[in-house]
A and B are shown apart, each in its own frame.
Chain A
Amino acid sequence: MTDLPNSLRTGPDEQGHFGAFGGRYVAETLMPLILDLEREYRAAQVDNAFRAEFDDLLKNYVGRPSPLWLAQRLTDHLGGAKIYLKREDLNHTGAHKINNCIGQILLAKRMGKTRIIAETGAGQHGVATATVAALFGLPCTIFMGAVDVARQQPNVFRMKLLGAEVVAVESGAKTLKDAMNEALRHWVANVHDTFYIIGTVAGPHPYPELVRDFQSVIGDEAKAQILEAEGRLPDMLIAPVGGGSNAIGLFHPFLDDTGVEIVGVEAAGEGLDGKHAASLAGGRPGILHGNKTYLLQDEDGQITEAHSISAGLDYPGIGPEHSWLHDIGRVRYEPVTDAEALASFQKLTKLEGIIPALESAHAIAAAERIAPTLGKDKIIIVNCSGRGDKDIFTVADALGVKL
């Protein structure tokens, strides 16, 4: 921690690096486009009209700000720190994903691109992308692993209703990483007219930066809301991390508030000694999908299959800024298993009348573990990143219930 900058919010550097992570590891064909995107994003950042259109869509289309809900019954049940939920599940399309999609489709429009592609795991990002594509009248193709297509049928149907073409990817493990490979293959062959809306804070620079910036509305709002409700900053933030876009969105505005402890929750699947998706706990740095970051891999650098009950966390990597925050110790990353997430999914539903996404249930599980160890005067904000309606079939299956 010797040469840390005064602020942890200034990254990445000009080459897109967060410490040793990030960068632009893409085929030469894509490099000029990546550089174009960066130029266009720099211009958009200082363009008040761009910001105004983004803010207007978040307010009037997405329904922001999302509430910060004091989960009193959950708090009472756990008997420790006061738990607030940042209700990203109440956004249009039911998750935080739409924030980023609004930002990126405005960039696509700015760059004159006429076709949209995206990858999706759980289908939340696919639905959000198909939604903004419909709103802006652009044709849209969503790449989704065939396994995910099977386990997320309602979202597949939603995307189709929204006018998107859904391509079931049959290569590799047929999940999120394979969907991303296929989207990159499609993009490289269609760079002239196609904009790739990446759904998380991964991929080549400037994606991790711009996705984070578009998602930071979560943390900016949460900060204002907690100051209004409690007159002070929280003691802790907790968010689930797959690629890590909802987490970085909540965390980033608080990175320089040293009194705020920050916890990211990785999907430990069947446990860290079995099949899991915890790249930080069980992986090491490597290069995949355009950036250097912690990856699940073998000693030869072959990527190993991730597993999580939550399709949205089922990815063998993590955003490069998280890898950096992990290495410098600013954010603590904890694993939560499928079984723990499943229990918390049911608990939050019964106690608060909120059905969380399985992704979000991982963060709830960590809160259940941590809150009782803290005093009642402490405050935790948990990111309820999405709603769980999409997961009811998976949960029913796990509970042995036939629908």
Chain B
Amino acid sequence: MTRFASAFAKGPALIAFITAGDGDTAANLDALVAGGADVIELGMPFTDPMADGPAIQAANLRSLAKGTTTGDIFAMAAAFRHRHPDVPLVLMGYANPMTARGADWFAAECAKAGVDGVICVDIPSEEDAELGPSLRAAGVDLIRLATPTTDPARLPAVLDGAGGFLYYVSVAGITGLQQAAQASIEEAVARLKAATDLPVAVGFGVRTPEQAAEIAKTADGVVVGSAFVDIIAAHGDGAAPHLEAFTRTLADAIHRAKEIAA
């Protein structure tokens, strides 16, 4: 069983995002795991994060200002894998840093560091050749995004070559701002689950345990990012205990959701 399969087999999963190199990343990652996060998404900072709202934009800039390199990010990933052999790790970011040394190089580094999956915001299925074949050849899952604008005609192409889980971006917008209506999320998750055997996770705009629990009633996973990033922005290098406490409230809410629903 892959790490993803194990993580999602336990019931709805909390997928926690932070930006690599923003604050004490190793301590923060450990705090997320200790608090009950089931999957870790590590953001690769980019100078031009076009899909991100103000919170994650600022995290990208803080990280780059500290001089975070792609090599540093793979070192963080490899160290995480050593400390946490079973927790799935995803790199999320933009096409240019991922392809700057060639897709094969990037995919090989991912495999070497124990990265399970990659989310690339600005490579839609139409441009899969840019990164997808290299990742699949290296045994790294390419995690695709579906959105409210992904119509049924496009969905098969989006799912073709996808692995790990399907990430449903619940709002047409950027990270961390608006929240989608619960009814629209339920409808979309049902539609997506009918089209794929992959677990379906929902993200963008999820900030509270209450929202997360609602979503966890139907989805296989809930992605929370900006709310964690805000904690790092507020507490800097001392963010870990705050992250762990907040993670626990989210994880408890999500893990309980299935029992309540059942």
Contacts and interface: CB of A to CB of B under 8 A. Distances in A.
Contacts of B126: 15, 23-24, 31
A289 to B, nearest CB: 7
B145 A27 contact: yes
B97 interface: yes
A25 interface: yes
B124 A297 contact: no
B70 A27 contact: no
Contact of B50 (A15, A31, A181): A181
A31 B153 CA distance: 12
A315 to B, nearest CB: 12
B99 A287 contact: yes
A172 B124 contact: no
**Interface size of A as a range:** 35 or more
A227 interface: no
Interface stretch (A47-55, A64-72, A101-109, A298-306): A298-306
A348 B143 CA distance: 56
A303 B100 contact: no
Contacts of B69: 300
B122 interface: yes
Contacts of B50: 27, 181, 184-185, 289
Interface SS of A by simple majority: mixed
Interface in A69-84: none
Interface string B145-164: 11111110010001000000
B208 to A, nearest CB: 21
A198 to B, nearest CB: 14
Given A32-B150, A181-B50, A184-B50, A287 B96 contact: yes
Interface stretch (B2-10, B168-176, B225-233): B168-176
B131 to A, nearest CB: 10
Given A185-B51, A288-B48, 20 more contacts: A23-B126, A24-B126, A26-B122, A27-B122, A31-B126, A32-B149, A33-B149, A181-B49, A184-B50, A185-B53, A188-B172, A189-B178, A191-B172, A287-B96, A287-B99, A290-B122, A292-B130, A299-B100, A300-B100, A302-B96
- Please give me the 3 A-B residue pairs with the lowest Cβ-Cβ distance, nearest first: A301-B100, A189-B173, A301-B97
8 contacts: A28-B147, A29-B148, A29-B149, A189-B174, A287-B123, A289-B48, A292-B130, A300-B69
